Amino acid sequence: MRTVLVVEDEPRIASLVREYLENAGFGVLVTSDGRAGLTLARARRPDAVVLDLGLPGMDGLDVIRDLRRDSTVPVVVLTARGDESDRVAGLELGADDYVVKPFSPKELVARVRAVLRRSEAAARPVDRLVVGELEVDAARHRVIVAGRIVTLTPTEFGILATLAREPGRVFTRGQLLDAVHGFSLETYERAVDGHVKNLRRKIEPDPGAPRYVLTVHGVGYTLAEPAP
């Protein structure tokens, strides 16, 4: 049985999340405290972590920072509505996805399943990815759209290849810059929007209504997941 650790200080939310995860077949560990969450994560090695960012004592962002020193366990953070900076900070510290409160427990279960699926897929190296009529061939450094080879700049290719490593995962602008240039400067993050605009012009059938490279407002970009 796969186990999910839930770190949430609101008892009502914690018990609702427990109930839905248990009904979905997961073993569930619950704590209301960030430090206890870290201890449990290290001692019990859950398969995924659901982490509220607004915790008393040790803040959720500090929990991720500390956890990521020695763990790659998939983490879904729970964030307050409207707090986009927390969402971005959570992803940049290494969270895998986020759900905005108030959320539907079914949606949370779906997100947990998705991060588990993606972390298993990411463990296998992928040289070639096909989404609809888009083919990203990382091994040959080649992109094909509807049977036609598309020429991308190294930065455009780097952004697309990064997104293609984990379709469905949201990458912040800072993470995309890191992946492409190996560093990130806040002032340059808007440059990613320019590269994405050019990339869409080359690979999207309708750049005004993207099908492949999708915007996640206030957070970043994601590549559409291939149809199952």
Residues forming contacts to Ca ion in the complex (CB under 5 A) are: 9, 52, 54
The DSSP code for 24 is T
Give the integer Cα–Cα distance in Å for 89 and 61.
7
Residue 55 or 138 with smaller CB distance to Ca ion: 55
Residue 27 or 54 with smaller CB distance to Ca ion: 54
State the residue number with the nearest CB to Ca ion: 54
Least distance in angstroms from the C-beta of 188 to Ca ion:
33
Whether 7 and 31 have beta carbons less than 8 Å apart is answered as yes
Least distance in angstroms from the C-beta of 78 to Ca ion:
8
Residue 67 or 143 with smaller CB distance to Ca ion: 67
Question: Widest CA span of the chain, in angstroms?
Answer: 55
Helices assigned H by DSSP within the chain? 11-23, 34-44, 60-67, 84-93, 105-123, 154-165, 173-181, 189-203
Least distance in angstroms from the C-beta of 54 to Ca ion:
4
Residue 52 or 156 with smaller CB distance to Ca ion: 52
Residue 162 tokens read as: 């990064």
Give the integer Cα–Cα distance in Å for 81 and 226.
29
Residue 190 tokens read as: 């808007």
Least distance in angstroms from the C-beta of 105 to Ca ion:
16
